[in-house]
Chains A and B, each alone.
Chain A
Amino acid sequence: MRPPIKKIMLIVLMDVCISFGLLSLSGDTRISFMQECHAAAQAAWQKEFEDICSNTMESMNLTVAQLRQLIERCDKVRLTIDTLEETQRKVYQRRLKMCRDMYVFALETKETTK
């Protein structure tokens, strides 16, 4: 199968445009743009974290498959949390651990009482 040359060309072109656009911005605007990107990235993992951990109150009603999926999502979001600055990292690592442990506990309870 031939690689989609047109698509690759388009992506490269877009990358060049974005880089050029960034370089052409003034210092302050560039920093502000980068901060916005950072904030958007932070919002994404935080939303995922909250989405995962808001289910703990219902954990005993979730199915084994749902619990396994939540545990997997905990492990995935943990990778991002591990890269945060110290205070934020410690806070979210501990909170995530509380959620994950709860899901593991619910899962084990369900599996042993089958």
Chain B
Amino acid sequence: MSFKTSTISAITIVLGALTVLAIVVPEGAAQWAFPPPPPPEEYGNILINRTSEKNGVKPVAFSHWLHRRKYTCRVCHFELDFSMKVNNTEITEEGNQAGRFCGVCHNGKDVFGHTKQNCEKCHNANRAAGKEKFKELENLPTAPFGNGKDWVKAIKKNTITPKNFLTMEPAGDITFDKKLLLEAEWRNIPPAIFRHKIHTEWLDCNNCHPDIFNIKKKTTKHFSMKYILEGQFCGVCHLNVAFPMQDCHRCHPAMQRK
């Protein structure tokens, strides 16, 4: 069996191109897999199940978008001591009843309390719980991924004015507005730009430093997409709650949105 010269040339070109790609593209790229996006009304919804099922109750469905309209991340992840990692906080019914954790607000005065009639409102194991309220976000600026809402713009435009503290008012607004330029691993990817100011609208400095970003010890060399997609660094928030990784343009502004 003989091949035509043109066919052989075509095969050679394809093989050559594949070889070049194999050299140029780092091995990590093959492992890049963005988590499949849930429907917008379920993005940021989590099930908390540290001890619920062990104690014979259904896991708690918690919706980030439902709460972040009214409170910044700082309130829960610093003032109320909720860890950034799910099931890492020792939330107990006794603690809630004593006015800690969820019980700070869910006390029957500010919002519905911890009564028997209300158990199912949170302990329902339904990640889509509360989706009927998603339409309340229709006035928020839109974004192509995540909840389909641009939460940064929403604060900027005062569409929402979430509270930044309950009892512990920050001593002053952050004046450390340092912009970081983070070179990407690949030559064809433009650098990522990190603005502190945008993040401190939502977070306290101690939410990220030094646990998640300890520049002094870990340096910026390790801020690679591989680690981020494993849930480290930016991936702590930007995989499940803040806009997801699919929105490349938000961090790498020189990249075009498709």
Contacts and interface: CB of A to CB of B under 8 A. Distances in A.
Interface string A94-108: 110011011011101
A101 B168 contact: no
Contacts of A98: 78, 206-207, 211
A55 to B, nearest CB: 5
Interface residues of A, number: 26
Given A57-B170, A58-B171, A94 B206 contact: no
Nearest to A53: B168
Interface stretch (B94-102, B185-193, B229-237): B94-102
B216 A58 contact: no
B215 A109 contact: yes
B169 A87 contact: no
A54 B167 CA distance: 10
A50 B81 contact: no
Interface string B184-220: 0000000000000000100011110111001110000
Nearest to B203: A57
Given A53-B168, A58-B175, A95-B78, A108 B100 contact: no
A56 B204 contact: yes
A72 to B, nearest CB: 17
Given A87-B92, A102-B205, A109-B216, A60 B176 contact: yes
A87 B92 CA distance: 9
A29 to B, nearest CB: 25
B36 interface: no
A60 B205 contact: yes
Contact of B168 (A54, A87, A90, A94): A54
A90 B216 contact: no
A32 interface: no
A91 B171 contact: no
Nearest to A113: B216
B174 A87 contact: no
Given A91-B100, A98-B78, A112-B216, A105 B209 contact: yes
B211 A101 contact: yes
Category for how many chain B residues contact A: 20 to 34
B173 interface: yes
A50 B167 contact: yes
A87 to B, nearest CB: 5
For A90, A102, A108, the residue with the greatest tally of chain B CB atoms inside 10 Å of its CB is A102
Nearest to B209: A105
Contacts of A61: 172, 175-176
Contacts of A55: 171
Contacts of A88: 100
Nearest to A111: B216
Interface of A: 50, 53-61, 87-88, 90-91, 94-95, 98-99, 101-102, 104-106, 108-109, 112
Given A88-B100, A94-B81, 20 more contacts: A56-B205, A57-B171, A58-B172, A58-B175, A59-B205, A61-B176, A87-B92, A87-B94, A87-B95, A91-B81, A91-B100, A95-B78, A98-B207, A99-B206, A101-B209, A102-B210, A104-B210, A105-B209, A105-B216, A109-B215
30 contacts: A50-B168, A53-B168, A54-B171, A55-B171, A56-B170, A56-B204, A56-B206, A57-B171, A57-B173, A57-B200, A58-B171, A58-B174, A60-B205, A61-B175, A87-B92, A87-B94, A87-B95, A88-B100, A90-B90, A91-B100, A94-B81, A95-B81, A98-B78, A98-B207, A98-B211, A102-B210, A105-B209, A105-B216, A106-B209, A109-B215
